[in-house]
């Protein structure tokens, strides 16, 4: 990875700033065209403003602008300071900019090459910190789980092998998946965008990526952003099409698919089997990424590109596995975990924890009353029920304007509002 990143203490890798246009690993003409579009969009254009817009060092920005000047696409309107000139479009530049925008509407930070991105993902994956049992304990501390579930969760997080969770709804599968993500410490670097054959793939997404403030002491390459490890959760909206590059005919560049945005973090496929596509087709789409840690995406030109596939992949479903998932697919999963309904002891522990978390009075007789209601209505226990019942009690207290408390009458009213009236009564 020559000239791509430098190692600093604690195994944090900082992308090194390019010194010349050639160091960007991008075609000079491509960069010049991007600079021209940036001038087009900036009424008060200067070298420093273009450098900031393209996330490139000022000397490289000045080199690109001087090239545009020599090509008679822009003119120099004055000097702000040393190596910082004012620029404006010429008629020839306007014409070329319009042609460029008709082909690709991207104006923003200069992308990195696909090779640079692939190498950075590999570098960061190779030096990731191990996940210790203490990390898992802290991450799952808000959940009441059997020891065997906690152990499996730790093995998954540390190995980063995929996980298939199944079981009845309401018993914490999604909560476990989200908590597993928090067990993996550290941050990663991702680029704003990636260049492939003069096409732009926009990767940074403010919805899925949380930026981490960084010091400029190391002169890092500002085409890269340091973020918290991403957590991407997709559910019923997932289709085969959303797993490929998303090309906009309006802005004429690509949006990266969700699995690419999850690289270096966690990807949760929630409610698997409820998507608007045959589950078998979705499973077949995952086979190559699971086996090779690589994915293949298609440009609108028909060209296939190879990208790294390095998220922690978690499937979650409450559907019957029979007819939903074949054994061949399950063999490719790293771990399988059945999330069972709680025992009475387990349910009681959850109930007590929720009561304590909300600083309410705990009375064992109230828990026994709840169990009696379950028995009377022949209703199965669920891990989510204690939380939801207590929240209903608090809703009632707020509504009537009384101090939060836990009583039999309030629990019975909360039960009726949560489960509905018992038809047998």
Buried b (16+ CB within 10 A) or exposed e, 88-105: ebbeebeebbeebbeebe
In a domain, 191, yes or no: no
Q: Verify that 377 and 359 share a domain, yes or no.
A: yes
Tell me: do 349 and 321 sit in the same domain: no
Q: Could you list the residue range(s) of the whole structural domain that residue 385 is in?
A: 344-419
Q: What are the phi and psi torsion angles at 78 (to 5°)? A: 150, -175
pLDDT confidence of residue 1: 42
Helix 364-377 to helix 408-419 angle (10° resolution) is 30
The closest of 61, 69, 64 to 93, measured between CA atoms, is 69
Residue ending a domain, choose from 320, 338, 356: 338
* pLDDT score recorded for residue 36: 98
If asked whether residues 143 and 259 sit together in one domain, one would say yes
Half-sphere exposure of 282 (CA within 13 A, CB side): 21
- Are both 326 and 360 inside the same structural domain? no
Q: What is the pLDDT of residues 134-145, one digit of tens each?
A: 989 999 999 999
pLDDT at residue number 320: 86
Indicate if 244 and 326 belong to the same structural domain.
yes
- Looking at the fold, whether 300 and 267 belong to one and the same domain comes out as yes
- Tell me the whole-structure pTM to 2 decimals: 0.89
Q: Are residues 153 and 260 in the same domain?
A: yes
Does any domain span residue 12?
no
Q: How many domains does the chain have?
A: 3
How confident is the model at residue 219, as a pLDDT? Answer: 82
Question: Are 145 and 257 members of one domain?
Answer: yes
Q: What does the DSSP assignment read for 324-372?
A: TS-HHHHHHSSEEEE-PPPPHHHHHHHHHHHHHHTTPPP-HHHHHHHHH
- Evaluate whether residue 373 is within a structural domain: yes
pLDDT in the model for residue 9: 41
Residue 52 region, left (φ>0) first, then alpha (ψ -120 to 50), else beta? Answer: alpha
322: domain CATH number is 3.40.50.300
Chain segment 213-260, per-residue pLDDT in tens: 887 666 899 999 999 999 999 998 899 999 999 999 899 999 999 999
> Nearest to residue 270, comparing CAs of 227, 231, 224, 322?
231
Rounded CA-CA distance 212/218 in Å is 15
Does residue 312 lie within any of the structural domains? yes
Q: Please list the pLDDT of the chain residue by residue as tens digits (425 residues).
A: 444 555 544 445 789 999 999 999 999 999 999 999 999 999 999 999 999 999 999 999 999 999 999 999 999 999 998 889 999 999 999 999 999 999 999 999 999 999 999 999 999 998 888 888 998 999 999 999 999 999 999 999 999 899 999 999 999 999 999 999 998 878 999 999 999 999 999 999 999 999 998 876 668 999 999 999 999 999 988 999 999 999 998 999 999 999 999 999 999 999 998 888 888 888 888 988 988 999 999 998 899 999 999 999 999 999 888 878 877 788 788 899 999 999 999 999 999 999 999 999 999 999 999 999 999 999 999 999 999 999 999 999 999 999 999 999 999 999 999 998 665 54
Classify residue 410 by burial, with Cβ atoms within 10 Å: 0-12, 13-18, 19+.
buried
Give Dmax (Cα) for the chain.
89
């Amino acid at each position: 990875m020559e000239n791509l990143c430098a190692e600093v203490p604690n195994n944090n890798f900082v992308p090194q700033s390019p010194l010349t246009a050639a160091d960007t690993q991008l075609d000079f003409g491509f960069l010049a065209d991007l600079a021209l579009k940036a001038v087009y969009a900036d009424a008060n254009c200067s070298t420093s403003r273009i450098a900031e817009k393209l996330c490139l060092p000022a000397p490289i920005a000045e080199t690109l602008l001087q090239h545009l000047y020599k090509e008679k696409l822009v003119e120099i309107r004055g000097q702000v300071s040393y190596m910082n000139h004012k620029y404006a479009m010429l008629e020839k530049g306007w014409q070329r900019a319009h042609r460029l925008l008709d082909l690709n509407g991207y104006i923003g930070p200069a992308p990195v090459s696909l090779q640079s991105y692939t190498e950075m993902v590999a570098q960061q994956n190779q030096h990731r910190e191990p996940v210790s049992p203490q990390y898992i304990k802290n991450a799952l501390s808000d959940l009441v789980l059997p020891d065997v579930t906690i152990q499996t969760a730790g093995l998954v997080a540390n190995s980063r092998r995929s996980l298939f969770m199944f079981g009845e709804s309401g018993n914490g599968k999604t909560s476990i998946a989200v908590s597993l993500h928090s067990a993996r410490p550290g941050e990663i670097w991702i680029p704003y965008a990636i260049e492939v054959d003069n096409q732009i793939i926009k990767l940074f997404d403010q919805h899925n990526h949380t930026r981490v403030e960084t010091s400029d002491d190391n002169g890092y390459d500002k085409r890269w952003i340091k973020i918290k490890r991403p957590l991407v959760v997709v559910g019923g909206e997932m289709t085969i099409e959303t797993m490929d590059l998303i090309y906009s005919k309006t802005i004429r560049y690509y949006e990266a698919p969700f699995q690419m945005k999850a690289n270096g973090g966690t990807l949760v496929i929630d409610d698997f089997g409820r998507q608007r596509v045959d589950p078998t087709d979705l499973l077949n789409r995952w086979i190559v990424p699971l086996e090779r840690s690589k994915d293949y995406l298609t440009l609108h030109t028909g060209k296939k590109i190879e990208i790294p596939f390095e998220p922690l992949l978690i499937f979650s479903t409450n559907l019957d596995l029979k007819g939903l998932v074949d054994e061949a697919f399950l063999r490719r999963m790293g771990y399988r975990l059945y999330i069972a309904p709680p025992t009475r002891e387990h349910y009681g522990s959850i109930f007590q924890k929720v009561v304590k978390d909300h600083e309410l009075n705990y009375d064992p007789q109230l828990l026994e009353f709840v169990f009696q209601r379950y028995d009377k209505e022949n209703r199965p226990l669920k891990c989510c029920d204690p939380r939801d019942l207590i929240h209903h009690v608090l809703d009632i207290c707020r509504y009537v304007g009384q101090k939060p408390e836990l009583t039999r009458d309030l629990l019975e009213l909360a039960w009726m509002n949560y489960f509905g009236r018992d038809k047998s009564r």
